[in-house]
Amino acid sequence: MARVYVFKRFERFWHWAQALLIITMLVSGFEVHGTYKLLSWHKAAELHTTAAWALMGLWVFAIFWHFTTGEWRQYIPTTNKMIDVALFYAFGIFRGEHHPYLKTKNHKHNPLQRVAYLGVKLFINPLIWCTGLFYLFYNQLGAIGLGGVSLGLIALAHTFGAFLMLLFLIAHVYLGTAGHTPTAHFTAMITGWDDDVHEEPQGAQAQ
């Protein structure tokens, strides 16, 4: 195992800014939904909208970054060792075993991570993004021929997306503690350096 620089500066900025924005949006979003009163509905709605634009802007940059750097390949799903990883979290982790998946610089996510992150990127994010924009521009929907879509339905789908994001967040934060030390993943995400990376053979980069 070696200490390797796995998370680039933009990637770290993107991750933590997104974390902050998503938590902000969950907190303000559920107030807008009427689940509790915290900031006042007005402020919550304003904050939610501002954060939404910031997050969308961030996503545009992140998508651009992923494609121009080729980092999108990190999320190509695989079934290889998926069962092993699941079994590790169910049993091996309690026995102090090492993680069955050996990270490399170009394959830094284990099979479960890949499928989860891909799900977030291809399903949860677009769902929240689209329904959010529909919500925000509800009055203008008629102009693009979608005047018949009810606000209730839009809100329902948006709330559904929010719950999925909340579930992801809980699991994600917890699994952040499941590295070879409880703080290893957090440290890596902050500094960019991970000291539990398998050095991959030269040829593997071509994959």
Instruction: Provide the binding-site residues for another protein, judged by CB under 8 A.
Output: 32-35, 37, 40-42, 45, 49, 89, 93-96, 138-139, 150-152, 155-156, 159-160, 162-163, 166-167, 170-171, 174, 177-178
The DSSP H or E segment spanning 194 is strand 193-197
Nearest residue (CB) to another protein, 2 versus 167: 167
Q: Which residues pair with 5 in a beta bridge?
A: 193
Contact criterion met (CB below 8 Å) for 51 and 43: no
Nearest residue (CB) to another protein, 96 versus 201: 96
Task: Tell me how far, at minimum, the Cβ of 148 lies from another protein, in Å.
Answer: 11
Nearest residue (CB) to another protein, 59 versus 138: 138
Contact criterion met (CB below 8 Å) for 160 and 127: yes
Nearest residue (CB) to another protein, 17 versus 155: 155
Task: Tell me how far, at minimum, the Cβ of 145 lies from another protein, in Å.
Answer: 17
